[in-house]
Amino acid sequence: MRLTRKSLNFVLKLVGIFAFGFLTAYSQDAPKQDTHGIAVANMDRSVKPGDNFYLYCDGDWIKRTEIPPDRSRIGVFTTLADLSDKRTAALIEEAAKSAGPRASKIADLYNSYMDEAGIEAKGLAPIQSHLKAIAAISNKKELAAALGESLRADVDALNNTNFHTSHLFGLWVAPGFNDSDHYAAYLIQGGVQLPDRDYYLSNSEHMREIRTKYQAHVSAMLKLAGFTDTDARAERIVALEHAIAEKHLSLEANDDIHKANNTWKQSDFAANAPGLDWAEYFRGAGLSKQASFTVWQPTAFAGESALVASTPLDTWKDWLAYHFIEEYGGVLPKALADERFAFFGKVLQGAPEQRPRWQRGVVTVNRYLGDDVGQIYAQRYFSPEAKAQAQAMVANIIAAFRKRIDALSWMAASTKAEAQAKLDTLYVGIGYPETWIDYSAYEVKSDDIFGNVWRGNLFQYHRQLARLGAPVDRKEWSMTPQTVNAVNLPLQNALNFPAAILQPPFFDPLAPAAANYGAIGSVIGHEISHTFDSEGAAFDSKGRVRNWWTPADLEHFEAATTKLAAQYDTYKPFPDLSLNGKQTLAENIADVAGISASYDGYRASLAGKTAPVQDGFSGDQQFFIAFGQDYGSKTREAAMRQQVAVDSHSPSEFRADTVRNIDAWYAAFDVKPGETLYLAPADRVRIW
pLDDT digits (tens, 9 = 90+) for 638-664: 999 999 999 999 999 999 999 999 999
Whether residue 318 is found in the same domain as residue 423: no
| Distance from C-alpha of 483 to C-alpha of 366, rounded to nearest angstrom | 9
User: What pLDDT is attached to residue 404?
Assistant: 93
Say if residue 513 is in the same domain as residue 413: yes
Cα distances from 676 to residues 47, 246, 682, in angstroms, run: 11, 39, 16
3-state SS, residue 471:
strand
Within a domain: residue 62? yes
Residues 6+ apart with CB under 8 A from 473: 435
Does 127 fall in a domain?
no
Q: Is residue 351 part of a domain?
A: no
Q: Exposed e or buried b for every residue in 27-46, given b needs 16+ CB within 10 A?
A: eeeeeeeebebbbeebbbee
- Mark whether 157 and 300 lie in a shared domain: yes
Q: Which residues contact 373 (CB under 8 A, 6 or more apart)?
A: 88, 91, 92, 106, 365, 366, 480, 482
Q: What is the mean pLDDT of residues 351-364?
A: 96
Q: Are residues 228 and 268 in the same domain?
A: yes
Do 149 and 260 belong to one domain? yes
Q: Please report the pLDDT score of residue 34 as a whole number.
A: 63
Dihedral of CA atoms 206, 208, 214, 219 in degrees, nearest 10, equals: -150
Q: Tell me what the mean pLDDT of segment 473-499 comes to.
A: 94
Instruction: Write the DSSP symbol of residue 344.
Output: I
Order of strands, edge to edge, in the sheet holding 494-498?
427-431, 494-498, 487-489
Query: What's the pLDDT tens digit per position in 130-169?
Result: 999 999 999 999 999 999 999 999 888 876 555 567 899 9
Torsional sign, CA 145, 149, 153, 156: negative
Cα 166 to Cα 161, 526, 569, 596, distances in angstroms: 12, 31, 29, 39
Is 2 a residue whose pLDDT tops 80? Answer: no
- Same domain? 171 vs 263: yes
Q: In this structure, what CATH number is given to the domain that contains residue 189?
A: 1.10.1380.10
Q: Cis before residue 505, ω within 30 degrees of 0?
A: yes
pLDDT band at 16 (very low <50, low <70, confident <90, very high): very low
Taking the C-alpha atoms of residue 554 and residue 428, their distance in angstroms, rounded to an integer, is 27
- Of 542 and 443, more confident: 443
**CATH code for the domain in which residue 629 is found:** 3.40.390.10
The rounded distance, in Å, linking the Cα atoms of 247 and 264 is 19
Helices 522-529 and 585-605: angle between axes, nearest 10 degrees: 130
Rounded-to-integer distance, Cα 670 and Cα 634, Å: 28
Per-residue pLDDT tens digits for 102-124: 999 999 999 999 999 999 999 99
**Exposed e or buried b for every residue in 372-394, given b needs 16+ CB within 10 A?**
bbbbbbbebbbbeebbebbeebb
- Residue 172 pLDDT greater than 70, yes or no: yes
Contact criterion met (CB below 8 Å) for 95 and 103: yes
Residue 1 has pLDDT above 70, yes or no: no
pLDDT-above-70 percentage for the chain? 94
The verdict on 287 and 375 lying in the same domain is: no
Evaluate if residue 27 carries a pLDDT over 50: no
Chain Cα centroid distance, residue 545: 22
Query: What pLDDT is attached to residue 160?
Result: 57
Q: Where are the alpha helices (DSSP H) in 115-229?
A: 116-122, 125-135, 140-149, 198-201, 205-224
311, 331, 351 — which closes off a domain?
A: 331
Nearest to 629 by CA among 487, 514, 528: 514
Three-class SS state of 292: strand
- Give backbone dihedrals phi and psi of 261, rounded to 5 degrees, phi first: -85, 75
Give the tens place of pLDDT for each residue, 582-630. 999 999 999 999 999 999 999 999 999 999 999 999 999 999 999 999 9
CB 392 within 8 A of CB 98: no
Same domain? For 452 and 409 the reply is yes
Q: CA–CA separation, 132 vs 129, rounded Å?
A: 5
Give the integer Cα–Cα distance in Å for 525 and 623.
Answer: 14
Q: Is the pLDDT of residue 33 over 80?
A: no
633-635 and 73-75 strand pairing: antiparallel
Answer whether residue 340 is part of any domain.
Answer: no
State the average pLDDT for the chain: 92
User: Do residue 146 and residue 13 come from a single domain?
Assistant: no
What single letter denotes the amino acid at residue 65? T
26 has a pLDDT exceeding 70: no
Domain boundary among 294, 310, 331: 331
CA dihedral 266, 268, 270, 272 (to 10 degrees): -140
Q: Is the pLDDT of residue 496 over 70?
A: yes
The verdict on 452 and 502 lying in the same domain is yes
pTM of the model: 0.90
* In a domain? residue 501: yes
Nearest residue to 281 via CA among 171, 141, 163, 130: 141
Final residue of a structural domain among 314, 331, 348: 331
Write down the pLDDT at residue 440.
96
Question: Does residue 34 fall inside a structural domain?
Answer: no
CA–CA separation, 261 and 272 (whole Å): 15
β-bridge pairing 292-295 and 263-265: antiparallel
Q: Tell me the residue range of the domain where 417 lies.
A: 6-28+40-91+360-683
Domain identity same for 325 and 437? no
Residues 192 and 321 reside in one and the same domain: yes
Residue 119 falls inside a structural domain:
no
Cβ within 8 Å of residue 516, ≥6 positions away: 393, 507, 508, 626
In the predicted structure, residue 25 carries a pLDDT above the cut 50: no
For residue 22, pLDDT beyond 50: no
Compute the average pLDDT of residues 168-184: 96
Q: How many Cα neighbours within 13 Å face the side chain of 239?
A: 11
* Domains held by the chain: number: 2
| Ordered DSSP codes for 147-180 | HHHT-----BTTTTBT-SBSSSEEEEEEE-SS-T
Q: List, in order, residues 6 or more apart from 229 with CB less than 8 Å away.
A: none
Q: Do 486 and 1 touch, CB atoms closer than 8 A?
A: yes
Q: Label residue 252 by pLDDT band (50, 70, 90).
A: confident
The CA-based angle 229-231-237, given to 5 degrees, is 105
Residue 575 is assigned to a structural domain of this protein: yes
Model confidence pLDDT, tens digit, residues 390-440: 898 899 999 999 999 999 999 999 999 999 999 999 999 999 999 999 999
